[in-house]
Structure 1
Amino acid sequence: MFDWVKNIIESIGYPGIALLMILENIFPPIPSEVIMPFAGFVTEQGELNFLGVIAAGTIGSVLGTLPFYYLGLKIGEEQIKSWAQKYGRWIMLNPKDIDRATRWFERHDASAVFLCRLIPGIRTLISIPAGVARMNFFSFLSLSVAGTTIWIGLLTYLGQILGRNYDRVQDYLDPVGYAVFGIIVISYIYHIVKNK
């Protein structure tokens, strides 16, 4: 995974970072924790600009979360719950999850979007209840951009600090990435079998 991310960033630059971050939101096994630190490393080498990398990562990440917002907005809570009742086991979602997320979102509203964009694993999922709750799009967008910029900036800065030692980190990141991917696949299969 590391080599794939590295090749895209080195060959495409800023658009490659944005593309990877869009995919990271849609396909969680592609972790931003690999993408952005490597992009930060590239800035240390002088190939890309630090602020440009943060902008590309933020744009890609926010674009990747928009389909989930619109899913909640256009389909609505009752239809999503009905769909989750029939097919939700395939994406590990049930109507109770939607009710819980909606209640939580209603309690925390704007702060939920901002804070969740800083938390791996739920950064994208907060978009669904935001859409279901019909949160103002510009508020959703601005809070997503604010939270995402902090997260992306931190990861990019950490990559920049690693500098020339980043290649050594590859030995640790690849096994961790594969382990996380394996856990996700096993959890998914278990969930499908359990809810069959």
Structure 2
Amino acid sequence: MKILLIEDDALLAREIAGALRDENFAVDIAANGEDGLHLGDTEFYDAAVLDLGLPKIPGAKVLRAWRANGRQLPVLILTARDGWTDKVDGFKAGADDYLTKPFRIEELVMRLRALVRRAAGHASPRIECGALSFEAQTGLFELNGLPLKLTALEWRVLECLIMRKGIVVDRTELSEKVYEGDAGTDSNSLEVIVARLRRKIGKDAIETVRGRGYRLVGGGAA
């Protein structure tokens, strides 16, 4: 799961990004509305966390521009503005959720996971594919009822695939949602990660669709 965090308070941005990375999120940070608008228009993200009081371009204007451009990524506004009219304006601009500062990082994580899950079309927080299951609100994977131990990169790849189980996920999109900045090193390339996952959940669980990407079809087979 990859998040775009647009926050001009550098210390707060580092704290949020660090906490999200501890929960296996990949995070890109933009310190102003201009950079955030560009990233949201040109990169793949599962959701965005957007402050309203941004330099260069205000957060609400960034959100309106995304929606006018047809960008449908879920957006959670995170701001110190707690007035009712501010919330109304945020939702009118196209926000999917609104959280005021100060806040608990645990609540932010839960709200982001719920936004991504609903955007992927899953009403239930438990998503199953064969013997593989994913608790979207806790981030826990299980195989045949037992917890599945994954690295952060393996978790991100598998989370992307199970959210769209049975559907081919474009390789470029998958890579951009897994890595922060440049692509991974050889030891953590997408092909290597997929190979490691196949060893853990079954060699036939992830299909390679030549020239397109990968598709999760199950889990649990030897």
Structure with a larger share of its residues in helix: 1
TM-score, scaled to structure 2: 0.27
TM-score, scaled to structure 1: 0.29
Structure with a larger share of its residues in strand: 2
